[in-house]
Structure 1
């Protein structure tokens, strides 16, 4: 996906691959470093500002209000997510029926019991599309065909096999609850493959035998089944991630509140009179405390970066290509 979109490895890692708490820690380090640089460069120093007014009280009283508001917002997010899981019996029955219908279609496609584990299910669909692509190439190769069709099909199947093998390896050993399953699913550009299957079938329709037409149809069916399966896994991951986000924000809000309250209740201009590395200790303490109070917000940013990126990359379902990374 990174190679298709021509994006830097660092950008993809920050937006998608990295642990969200690691991203939040990196953002916190950036905030702390930036504020320390500003504290050293800007004149007058923080020590002087503290002597002139109630800088700490104003700053950290405001942060207490912000943290409480953020915690309230988290409760609202949780209610929104959980409301989708709650409902009358009829709604739950329809959800169950839709799930069973999809599993029935999948079992007809695979010819075996559909896996219950999301990573195994996606891997089975990827493997099925690879097998059907190889079968189609074998069917076309057995007949005297237009070299142009054979060349295009060979190139297409080679690309599909390479992509399928990469995704298969990524899904192997992945477990739901982490981003690994969805990240691997995003690497399989099934929309682009469906488009090429339709294009080749329509372009060479007059010269195709009945068995070859069925081969194209079977391959498209396998690729099309991957779409709703991936979207279902994406929806479940979003709900899982939002619940995790709510928990992490609430957990981080407690120490953030304690630090903010301690700073405006107990810390003044004479509390930390020394210097470290040429910078007043009160500056180190104030900047570190302010960074801690920002942790709930930084965790929120790290999760929304991933969720928004995934949502943007999966806006369309089926053979609609909105980004180069889907090609």
Structure 2
């Protein structure tokens, strides 16, 4: 199910759906349930209903394209604000990680956050052994969970990975749970915790907040890329589907056809697959966008009920 909703190549998912429709059509024709002979209503079906449906999908492609363009355009002030926001996020991560600059690759940037998170959590545990303070077991256990979360993120991220694959790694609610746990540790042990450890916990909280922001930022880019790709593929497949509908319509004449009747089941089945392709692409891409949007609806430590 994850392959259909999120992980799978959208073109492959759409191709499977279109092939399934063509296969079902072929089966029903072969079983005699559907008639595609010279005197059937295939010509009127392809010439009116399906053709208008394809044109509607092409209109949807135009609307999607306008939506994508509305998000990438902006005034100078809006663009400067976006740039400054990205810089502030990168500077925060660079300062905590102690590196002169952070990677441009989204996967490497998230990997930097994850490794720094693990190092900071391990550093707090080690710092607790080096100061005159005996951390409770609950304190140490929570930090081990945070370090394990960072390790898990880093292990599942590869360089130059597409954004949708990266999102698949950080779609869970662990970041929110760890944010709450870190804040609890800072508040619960505020009176007894050494200043050095308190600063380290603050850095951990800022890293977890960075993951929350990165989730939303990567989601925005990924959905915009998907919608831009979808609008282009809808145009390509829509023109092909329109040509298929016209071709089938012209094959049929009044009580006769221009090709052998034995070839009609194949022709109609293939044409149905081609005509369904734009709708299949639309469904495949919208399913992923809706899945990502639903699983990243919360920005902060709030976890909506499933």
1:294 matched residue in structure 2: 276
C-alpha separation in 2, matches of 1:105 and 1:155 = 26
| Residue in structure 2 matched with residue 305 of structure 1 by the alignment | 287
1:58 counterpart = 2:48: no
Structure 1 residues 260-302: Cα deviation after superposition (integer angstroms, max 9, x where no partner): 110011235543322xxxxxx4223212211210101100111
Residue 139 (str. 1) matches residue 121 (str. 2): no
Cα distance change on mapping 1:212 and 1:94 into 2, 3 Å: closer
Q: 1:159 aligns with which of 133, 145, 155?
A: 145
CA distance, structure 2, for counterparts of residue 47 and residue 298 of structure 1: 23
Corresponding residue to 1:100 among 87, 93, 99? 87
Match of 2:75 in 1: 88
State whether residues 21 and 276 of structure 2, in contact with CA within 8 Å, keep that contact through their aligned partners in structure 1.
Answer: no
Shift in CA distance, 123/39, structure 1 to aligned 2, threshold 3 Å = same
Matched, 1:23 2:13: yes
Quick one: which of 136, 160, 172 aligns to 2:158?
172
Structure 1 residue 195, shift from structure 2 partner? 1.3
RMSD: 2.4
- Give matches, 1:229-248, under 5 Å: 229-248=214-233
Question: Which runs of 5 or more structure 1 residues have no equivalent in the other structure?
Answer: 1-10, 275-280
Equivalent residue, structure 1, for 2:235: 250
Whether 1:32 aligns to 2:22 is yes
Q: Structure 1 residues 168, 226: closer, same or farther in 2, change over 3 A? A: same
Scaled by the length of structure 1, the TM-score of the pair is: 0.83
**Using the alignment, how far apart are the partners of 2:231 and 2:300 within structure 1?**
32
* CA distance in 2: counterparts of 1:266 and 1:32, whole angstroms: 19
Aligned-residue offset at 1:175: 3.4
On the 8 A contact 1:67/1:253 being kept in 2, the answer is yes
User: Which residue is equivalent to 1:278?
Assistant: none
**Is the CA contact (8 Å cut-off) linking 1:125 and 1:226 kept in structure 2?**
yes
Deviation at 1:20, TM superposition (A): 0.5
Structure 2: distance between partners of 1:233 and 1:273? 53
Match of 2:35 in 1: 46
Tell me, yes or no, if the aligned pair for 1:57 and 1:263 is still in contact at 8 Å: no
